[in-house]
Amino acid sequence: MLNDSRDLANRIRIRILEASYRSGASAHIGGALSMADLLATLYGGVLNFNLENKNLASRDRFILSKGHGALGLYSVLVEKGFISESNFETFMQNGTTLIAHPIMNPEFGIESSNGSLGQGLSFGVGQALAMKLDSINNRIFVMLGDGECDEGSVWEAAMSASHFKLDNLVAVIDMNGFQNDGSTNEVVNQNDLAQKWVKFGWNAISIDGHNSSEILNAFSTKPLSEVPTVIVARTIKGKGVDFMENNNNWHHNRLTRENFEIAMQNLDRSS
């Protein structure tokens, strides 16, 4: 499974670059690349879903709270058969439903609409609580960005999850060290981010967000009874492309033909 996850992560990154270049517009590339390994492991064998019955009540849910990472989500969804190749090729084209931020579409495997940051965890809390009340045994996964954790609404939701004892809720933080305005630690210091979640009543697991084994172990860890889980994944913004790694100019940018070809060569070497 680990080799499969690594291969899937590389394919996700290739799709991110291809779709971004094909769109001819600026796209959120760096933060989509940083979460590819997390998505690959999650969709590669952790998440419970059924392509024959996409609305199955007992399915696990994945909510992308850092909505600007939509290109990463679309890429894994086309890899897993939720989105067709023809639909994926419409990314950012006139009339498409696959815009820069996700629009809820269960047929495409998109469980929530997300644009403004700080909303996804609240949505996840509501979903997890509803599943508990209906005695449905599944899990709700919510992907957040580290910069997004500056939002007060995230911490309101974190308190609520602890209060309602939502051990079916897993928050995953793509901690790539940057946000739109620069380094996250320059905006709001987050060196002790995991401990902040612990103080809010969560079980916190810190991992290397590019290590498939650590990711799988974290997702497979049995939840503590009546305690929500947060996985703080240290990642590299722009992971896999040399000139994008830890370069916040690629938070949102347009690929030229030249830098697209260089980027693809980087990924070819890592496949």
Q: If you search the block for the tokens 């946000």, which residue do you land on?
A: 179
The rounded mean pLDDT for the chain is 95
Q: Cβ distance 72 to 35 under 8 Å? A: yes
Distance CA 145, CA 184 (A): 10
Q: Is pLDDT above 70 for 82?
A: yes
pLDDT in tens, 148-184: 999 999 999 999 999 999 999 999 999 999 999 889 9
The kind and range of the H/E element at 235 are: none
Phi, then psi, of 173 in degrees rounded to 5: -105, 120
Reported CATH class of domain 2-270:
alpha beta
- For the chain, give every domain's residue range: 2-270
pLDDT at residue 270 tops 80: no
Q: In sequence order, which residues have a C-beta less than 8 Å from that of residue 104 and are 6 or more positions away? A: 110, 111, 112, 113
Condensed to tens digits (0 to 9), the pLDDT of residues 220-252 reads: 999 999 999 999 999 999 999 999 999 999 999
- Give the separation between CA 15 and CA 147, rounded to whole angstroms: 25
pTM of the model: 0.96
How far, in Å, CA of 152 to CA of 209, rounded? 25
Contact present, 81 and 107 (Cβ < 8 Å): no
